[in-house]
Structure formats: C-alpha cells, structure tokens
Amino acid sequence: MHARYEKTHSVNLRKRWLITVGLFLIIQLLLIAIDGTFLEPNLNDSGNMISRIGTYILEARLFTEWITPYSFPLFNLLVMLQIIAISIQALQDMINLRMSKK
C-alpha cells in the first residue's frame, strides 16, 4: 500500500508541476504579446499612498535595470513574483520528498 501511495503522490506532483510550468509559460506569452503595445495597463497616478508606493516599487533599479525582460516595469515585477512563488513551491516539494523517503 505504501508503494501505491508513492506512485499516486509522484503522479500528482508531476501533474502539479506540469500545470505550474504551463501557466508560467502562458502568462509569459501573454506578457510578450502585450509588452510595448497599447494594451499595457495604464497605472493610476492619482497620488494616493498606494499608488505612490506602487510607483516607488516599479521605479526601483531592480525592475528598471536588473530584471528587465520587458519594457514595462509592472511585467518585470510580475515575472519576479512568479519566479519567487515557483521557487518556494519547489523548495517545499523537495523538503517533502526528502522527508517522505526517511
């Protein structure tokens, strides 16, 4: 019964990673299609605190000079957040696999 659980778990893990990578690639294709076109979102510059914080974050060198796969800084931020989320999930899955083998 234990071997059956491991097989089911590995199939579920494989499906989850295929979905995760697939969604990442689909989002990247959408960002590539939208970047540099009139479809880019128009950020609210009303001057309220949330928009000032957002502008401050998006104008940071991290998103304007270091991480720049796209010309629109918001897309660069989205890519970084996706990569962080995927990395956290990968780390969690590696820990779970290591613990289940013991």
Q: Is the pLDDT of residue 2 over 80?
A: no
Weakest mean pLDDT among 12-21, 31-40, 46-55, 90-99: 46-55
Identify the band that residue 26 occupies on the pLDDT scale cut at 50, 70 and 90: very high
- pTM of the predicted model as reported, rounded to 2 decimal places: 0.77
Token pair 């479809």: residue? 39
Find where tokens 């990578």 sit.
21
Quick one: pLDDT at residue 1? 43
Q: Indicate the average pLDDT of the chain.
A: 85
pLDDT tens-digit profile of 68-88?
Answer: 889 888 899 999 999 999 999
- 90/27 Cα distance (integer angstroms): 19
Count CB neighbours of 84 within 10 A: 10
